[in-house]
């Protein structure tokens, strides 16, 4: 409230009132006083409309006191993969009768992600599910959230040192890494130069798969020579350009392993434009819709994925179970979903499924909406 003040005691003023002082030596006419009140009202109106809401502010603010609110943070929004994850998350939220907040940055930025987490902590949501772009940056936010009784899990990509309760992992990382190398090695005849295309050197999931792939290549295929690793920044066009440069610099390159949904089509397009189809083998993790044309044209023989809608669904169901006080153990039944499978060496990591290998023979059988 804005109050004009000429020196008299303000018996009705509140702590948050704004007081306009006038010199006590001058009397104020009725017209001037009314004019001042009008100005004060206008100022209050303008001030009340100033300032943008922080990231995620609108989405979680309308919940009732007894409604469970689960906030899900992807690495970024408006790409096919995470759009599909959102569909699965929405399905689970509808089944469970909870409020879902699914939002994230436009670019794969850890700093931007943290703004969403801060907002949700301030709003007091019941659970936050994070697919971290920069795993090391979220620890203090996880601690803040847990200090306020908010359940925190990771999904799609992990931050194992953050203190999160669980990680919902799409596949067993070691299994996927080895499958990729076995596949590319077979196509390369067990020898020759190969390279890596990867969206980021910070993303935990991508680099865990990369670690297992490189280790497996050294142990099982000594005649494979890793010549380079290019970072594609979660962008298919950047991937195409980077892989094109890679091919130009290594004319005898025989294979590429691409670890994310944008690097694979980008690499495929680079191979196609370089007229290297049949000369450079390509495997990786991507989505059926973006890869179907390249599979049908024979630019690559195979790629891998899981059902991202199922990943979004499982993430919300696990978060809801934790908010509801349910113990998560191997074999725990989630209603309308089934039993939980934990990693054999880590009781805080949930394994969703086995990787799916897509080829020209089976790609038409799958429709994840991506």
- The model's pLDDT over 4-38, given as tens digits with 9 standing for 90+, comes to 434 433 334 433 444 444 343 333 444 443 444 34
- Identify the architecture of domain 173-305 in CATH: 3-Layer(aba) Sandwich (3.40)
| Among 244, 166, 257, residue whose Cα is nearest residue 211 | 257
Shared fold status for 65-171+308-353 and 173-305: yes
C-alpha–C-alpha distance, residues 258 and 274, integer Å: 17
CB atoms within 10 A of CB 252: 9
Q: Name beta bridge partners: 198.
A: 231
Per the CB < 8 A criterion, the answer to whether 124 and 323 are in contact is: no
pLDDT of 276-315, one tens digit each?
Answer: 999 999 999 999 989 999 999 999 999 999 999 999 999 9
Which has the higher per-residue pLDDT, 12 or 271? 271
- Label the pairing between strands 346-351 and 18-21: unpaired
| Among 177, 171, 253, residue whose Cα is nearest residue 218 | 177
pLDDT attached to residue 11: 39
Q: Is 156 left (phi over 0), alpha (psi -120 to 50) or beta?
A: left
Indicate whether 69 pLDDT > 80.
yes
Indicate whether 353 pLDDT > 70.
yes
For residue 234, name the pLDDT band (cuts at 50, 70, 90): confident
For residue 366, name the pLDDT band (cuts at 50, 70, 90): confident
pLDDT of 140-164, one tens digit each?
Answer: 999 999 999 999 999 999 999 999 9
Averaged pLDDT, 78-83: 90
Q: Where are the domains of the chain?
A: 2-48, 65-171+308-353, 173-305
Indicate whether 351 pLDDT > 50.
yes
Mean pLDDT of all residues belonging to the chain: 87
| Among 145, 142, 166, residue whose Cα is nearest residue 155 | 166
**Rg of the chain (C-alpha set):** 27
pTM over 0.75: yes
pLDDT attached to residue 54: 52
Q: Which H, E and C letters describe the chain, residue by residue?
A: CEEEECCCCCCCCCCCCEEEECCCCCCCCHHHHHHHHHHHHHHHHHHHCCCCCCCCHHHHCCCCCCCCEEEEECCCCCCHHHHHHHHHHHHHHHHHCCEEEECCCCCCCHHHHHHHHHHHHHHCCCEEEECCCCHHHCHHHHHHHHHCCCEEEEECECCCCCCCCCEEECCCHHHHHHHHHHHHHHHHCCCEEEEEEECCCCCHHHHHHHHHHHHHHHHHCCCEEEEEEEECCCCHHHHHHHHHHHHHHCCCEEEEEECCCCHHHHHHHHHHHCCCCCCCEEEEECCHHHHHHHHHHCCCCCEEECCHHHHHHHHHHHHHHHHCCCCCCCCCEECCCEECCEECCEEEEEECCCCEEECCCCHHHCCCCC
pLDDT of 172-202, one tens digit each?
Answer: 999 999 999 999 999 999 999 999 999 999 8
Indicate whether 255 pLDDT > 50.
yes
- Identify the architecture of domain 65-171+308-353 in CATH: 3-Layer(aba) Sandwich (3.40)
Per the CB < 8 A criterion, the answer to whether 134 and 77 are in contact is: no
pLDDT of 35-51, one tens digit each?
Answer: 443 444 444 433 344 44
- Label the pairing between strands 192-198 and 281-284: unpaired
Averaged pLDDT, 59-65: 53
């Amino acid at each position: 409230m804005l109050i004009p003040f000429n020196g008299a005691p303000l018996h009705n003023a509140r702590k948050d009132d704004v007081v306009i002082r006038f010199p006590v030596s001058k009397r104020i006419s009725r017209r001037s006083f009314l004019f001042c009140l009008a100005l004060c009202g206008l100022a209050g109106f303008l001030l009340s409309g100033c300032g943008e809401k922080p990231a995620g502010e609108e989405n979680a603010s309308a919940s009732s006191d007894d409604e469970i609110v689960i906030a899900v943070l992807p690495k970024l929004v408006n790409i096919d993969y995470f759009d599909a994850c959102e569909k699965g998350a929405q399905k689970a939220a509808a089944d469970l009768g909870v409020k879902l907040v699914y939002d994230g940055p436009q670019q794969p930025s850890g700093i931007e992600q943290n703004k969403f987490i801060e907002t949700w902590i301030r709003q007091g949501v019941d659970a936050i599910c994070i697919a971290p772009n920069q795993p090391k940056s979220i620890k203090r936010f996880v601690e803040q959230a847990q200090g306020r009784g908010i359940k925190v899990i990771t999904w799609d990509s992990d931050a194992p040192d953050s203190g999160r309760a669980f990680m919902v992992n799409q596949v067993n990382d070691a299994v996927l890494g080895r499958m990729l190398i076995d596949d590319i090695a077979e196509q390369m005849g067990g020898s020759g130069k190969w390279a890596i295309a990867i969206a980021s050197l910070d993303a935990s999931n991508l680099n865990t798969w990369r670690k297992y792939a490189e280790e497996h290549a050294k142990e099982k295929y000594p005649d494979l020579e890793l010549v380079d690793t290019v970072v594609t920044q979660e962008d298919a066009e950047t991937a195409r350009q980077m892989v094109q440069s890679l091919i130009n610099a290594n004319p005898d390159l025989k294979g590429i392993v691409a670890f994310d949904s944008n690097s694979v089509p980008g690499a495929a397009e680079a191979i196609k434009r370089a007229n290297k189809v049949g000369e450079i083998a390509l495997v990786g993790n991507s989505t059926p819709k973006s890869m179907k044309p390249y599979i049908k044209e024979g630019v690559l023989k195979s790629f891998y994925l899981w059902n991202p809608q199922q990943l979004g669904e499982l993430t919300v169901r696990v978060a809801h179970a934790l908010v509801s006080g349910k113990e998560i153990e191997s074999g725990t039944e989630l209603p309308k979903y089934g039993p939980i499978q934990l990693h054999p060496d880590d009781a805080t990591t949930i394994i969703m499924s086995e990787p799916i290998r897509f080829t020209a023979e089976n790609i038409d059988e799958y429709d994840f909406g991506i």
